[in-house]
Amino acid sequence: MFGFLNINKPVNITSHDVISYLRKITKIKRIGHAGTLDPFACGVLPVAIGNATRLFEYFDDDKEYIAEISFGKNTDTFDTEGQVTEVFDKKISEPEILNILENFQGEIEQIPPIYSAIKVNGKKLYEYAREGKNVELKPRKVTIENLVLKNFNNTEQKAEVIIKCSKGTYIRSLAYDIGKQLNCGAFLSKLTRTQAGNFYIKDSVNLYDIKTIEDVIKNLKEPTLNLPHAEINEIEAKKISMGQFLKNKQNFSDGDIIVLTHNNKMCAIAKIQDNLIKAGKVL
């Protein structure tokens, strides 16, 4: 079995739970996901089955979210699951939020939450946090392509924002940083991922609607990568499978990464070197 599932992950389960659920149904061990979602978050979770797991590095990195940010408090996890660390009396207005959001457009520096899976000296940050140990966190550069206020509830002091961003962006940290600049505290109270690369929530399937292997097959999608494609014949496909090189008949440039297809099905990812097609991953 080879392909991708566009899963709409429910709340209150981990991304690993999704993989375990699908392994039980398919009896296939080689299943993985792209882009972890926190348990309280929901939405698009691309899942690869079989050799498709080898294609994650070629995925588009951009993500889109709808996030609810609650103002007036900080938590130790920067989200609704953490312990409250500060409470603020200050109330904010919609114009203040609109003005602040402009500061987070483009390339910004972001410090990841201490409760995250980033490793420092071989150990995950959340493990340090649970042990009560302090770790020096270094800022990381991320890109916020678009940040739009969808609505604001003045009474509840909650804002709903649409965020289009690069891979590695922590929406929890973004919520915290917005609250810090407004001097009123903030945490992420809801999160829905609406897009991950070429996967969109409108095309996703709810996890628990997949109950049988037939459901998996029905919803399995062929990989689509934004890379140049080259169709090869049966003899060339056999050469590729044996680790041999092909001539660069289509005049791709040296260094190009391309997708090789045979009978319109993906069979390898290759690189152009010295005007030869050299397969890096045979599928």
Q: State the catalytic residues.
A: 38
Task: Look at residues 42, 22, 29, 32 and name the one whose alpha carbon lies nearest to residue 215.
Answer: 22
Distance in angstroms (rounded) separating the CA atoms of residues 73 and 87? 5
Could you identify the residue written with the tokens 């150990």?
123
Asked if 64 and 148 touch (Cβ cutoff 8 Å), the reply is no
Terminal C-alpha separation, the chain: 11
Distance in angstroms (rounded) separating the CA atoms of residues 193 and 70? 18
Structure tokens at 250: 């289509």
SS (H, E, C) 15-58: HHHHHHHHHHHHCCCCEEECCCCCCCCEEEEEEEEHHHHHHHHH
Query: How many beta carbons lie within 10 A of that of residue 217, not counting itself?
Result: 12
Asked if 39 and 18 touch (Cβ cutoff 8 Å), the reply is no
Structure tokens at 57: 């590095």
